[in-house]
Amino acid sequence: MTTLEVRKLYQARPFQRFYIQMADGRSVRVDHPEWMAFSPGGRTVIVYERDGSFEIIDLLLVTGVKVPVNGKAKARR
């Protein structure tokens, strides 16, 4: 998994919700591109939740992403 893959999903038009899979087993949902921000260096992202909380993610610790297809999640590694 590379930071480029996450950036491609973030920039996709039309945008499609995706999940970032972390090395510790957590999954972070990205519902909208406006709820995600890349750091200037590109190594970390902040993903906001509907309630205003957020996750700071080191992209070097991402193990994969899931993209829902027809109501089911399709994993990319």
Q: Is the pLDDT confidence value at 13 over 80?
A: yes
Across 1-77, the runs of DSSP E, i.e. the strands, are 18-22, 27-30, 36-38, 44-48, 54-58, 62-69, 72-76
How many distinct structural domains can be found in the chain?
1
Domain that holds residue 66: 3-76
The tens digit of pLDDT for each residue in 19-69 reads 999 999 999 999 999 999 999 998 999 999 999 999 999 999 999 999 998
Task: Name the pTM for this structure.
Answer: 0.83
Q: Where is pLDDT greater, at 14 or 3?
A: 14
Residue 53: the pLDDT is 96
73: pLDDT confidence band, cut at 50, 70 and 90?
low
Domain at 17, CATH number: 2.30.30.100
Residues 6+ apart with CB under 8 A from 26: none
